[in-house]
């Protein structure tokens, strides 16, 4: 099969690779669509994300969908031909984290496109069968691939406790921020404020359900006294985190999603005196059925977020295009 391989920083090449061999509990998926994530760009541009370092050739891409074309010995053959969305994880079955249902925190996790595990910018991938979720016909291949970033938004909304009547502030109107807006609305939030430095992105947030947008260069968010129930940071920007934290009502929740500085000095009295809950989101767990239903029923629109589609030979173009402020989700189509 053909695969797009990251050989070194800023260097990608098409290689011929063996089609993955299957374990008894795995399925082989012919890849139809793969979303480009910010983490893919980080690996491409910098060769690392925190402690995850690219030390050998790596296939990027973890937002994937396709069609099952073969199954392992322990899987019923009637799954062949099924269109699926891939949850790109392989946790240990017996870790304490997996046993408690928080398998995303498993320290032994094998995750697509996280060194040294190859991802989905290829013609075929394998995955454990229970992480290949059937999608209905009304869900497109691109939307099936984007269930992965949607799952990040669902995980964030669950952590934030968003429910009917919630008031929410989201920092960052990139792909995850826009998804967070859609999920918050689907979960019942009635006021959703979004802050972003870029005017085009603020406009996108409004188009996807934000009830108000803020330019933090012109307005000190902390002085608006928003008193939101939840703040979701999808920017990773230290000033956004600090101003958002001061915008939460007493007893509210702060959810950190964006990747930013390793260390931030936090206003401890604000946290203590308001009994704020501050938590992070690391990937997701048990989100795919919810994601599929949100898309199937039209409560979340992933297709409208697609701003570019590229073939396997154009992965570098796709990675570069995804950094533009006018881009929301760039898709790689191996068969294009």
The whole-number average pLDDT for the span 255-263 is: 92
Q: At what angle do helices 175-186 and 147-160 cross, to 10 degrees?
A: 60
Rounded percentage of the chain residues whose pLDDT exceeds 90: 96
The whole-number average pLDDT for the span 94-118 is: 97
Which domains, and CATH codes, for the chain? 2-146+302-333 (3.90.180.10), 151-280 (3.40.50.720)
pLDDT at position 326 is: 86
Cis geometry, peptide bond prior to residue 116 (ω within 30 degrees of 0): yes
pLDDT at position 296 is: 98
- The answer, yes or no, to whether residue 260 has pLDDT greater than 90, is no
Segment 10-51, tens digit of pLDDT: 999 999 999 999 999 999 999 999 999 999 999 999 999 888
**CB-CB neighbours of 227 under 10 Å:** 12
Is-contact 88 120, C-beta < 8 A? Answer: yes
Question: Cα(173)–Cα(204) distance, rounded to whole angstroms?
Answer: 7
Q: Give the containing element (helix H, strand E) for 141.
A: helix 141-145
Q: SS3 of 27, please?
A: strand
**CB-CB neighbours of 193 under 10 Å:** 23
Tokens of 320: 């570069």
Tell me the CB-side half-sphere exposure of residue 169, using CA atoms within 13 A. 32
Segment 132-174, tens digit of pLDDT: 999 999 999 999 999 999 999 999 999 999 999 999 999 999 9
DSSP state of 104: G
Closest CA to 92 of 102, 106, 105, 104: 106
Mean per-residue pLDDT over the chain, rounded? 97
pLDDT at position 192 is: 98
pLDDT at position 128 is: 98
- The answer, yes or no, to whether residue 325 has pLDDT greater than 90, is no
* pTM beyond cutoff 0.75: yes
């Amino acid at each position: 099969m053909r695969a797009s391989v990251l050989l070194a920083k800023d260097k990608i090449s098409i290689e011929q690779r063996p089609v993955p061999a299957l374990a008894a509990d795995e399925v082989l998926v012919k890849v139809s669509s793969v979303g480009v994530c910010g983490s893919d760009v980080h690996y491409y541009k910098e060769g690392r994300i925190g402690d995850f370092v690219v030390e050998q050739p790596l296939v990027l891409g973890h937002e994937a969908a396709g069609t099952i074309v073969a199954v392992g010995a322990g899987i019923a053959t009637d799954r062949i031909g099924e269109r699926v969305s891939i949850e790109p994880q392989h946790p240990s079955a017996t870790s304490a984290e997996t046993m408690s249902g928080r398998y995303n925190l498993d320290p032994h996790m094998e995750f697509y496109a996280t060194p040294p595990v190859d991802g989905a910018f290829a013609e075929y991938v394998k995955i454990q069968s229970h992480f290949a979720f059937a999608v209905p016909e009304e869900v497109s291949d691109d939307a099936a691939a984007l269930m992965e970033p949607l799952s990040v938004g669902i995980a964030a909304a669950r952590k934030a406790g968003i429910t009917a009547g919630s008031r929410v502030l989201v920092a960052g109107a990139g792909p995850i921020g826009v998804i967070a807006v859609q999920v918050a609305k689907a979960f019942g939030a009635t006021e959703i404020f979004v802050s972003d430095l870029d005017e085009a992105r603020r406009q996108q947030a409004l188009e996807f359900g934000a009830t108000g947008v803020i330019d933090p260069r012109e307005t000190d968010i902390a002085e608006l006294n928003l008193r939101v129930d939840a703040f979701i940071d999808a920017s990773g920007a230290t000033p956004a985190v600090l101003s958002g934290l001061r915008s939460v009502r007493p007893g509210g929740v702060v959810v950190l999603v964006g990747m930013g500085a390793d260390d931030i000095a936090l206003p401890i009295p604000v946290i203590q005196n308001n009994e704020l809950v501050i938590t992070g989101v690391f990937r997701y767990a048990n989100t795919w059925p919810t994601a599929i239903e949100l898309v199937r029923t039209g409560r979340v629109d992933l297709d409208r977020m697609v701003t570019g589609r590229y073939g396997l030979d154009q992965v570098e173009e796709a990675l570069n295009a995804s950094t533009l402020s006018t881009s929301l989700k760039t898709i790689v189509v191996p068969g294009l």
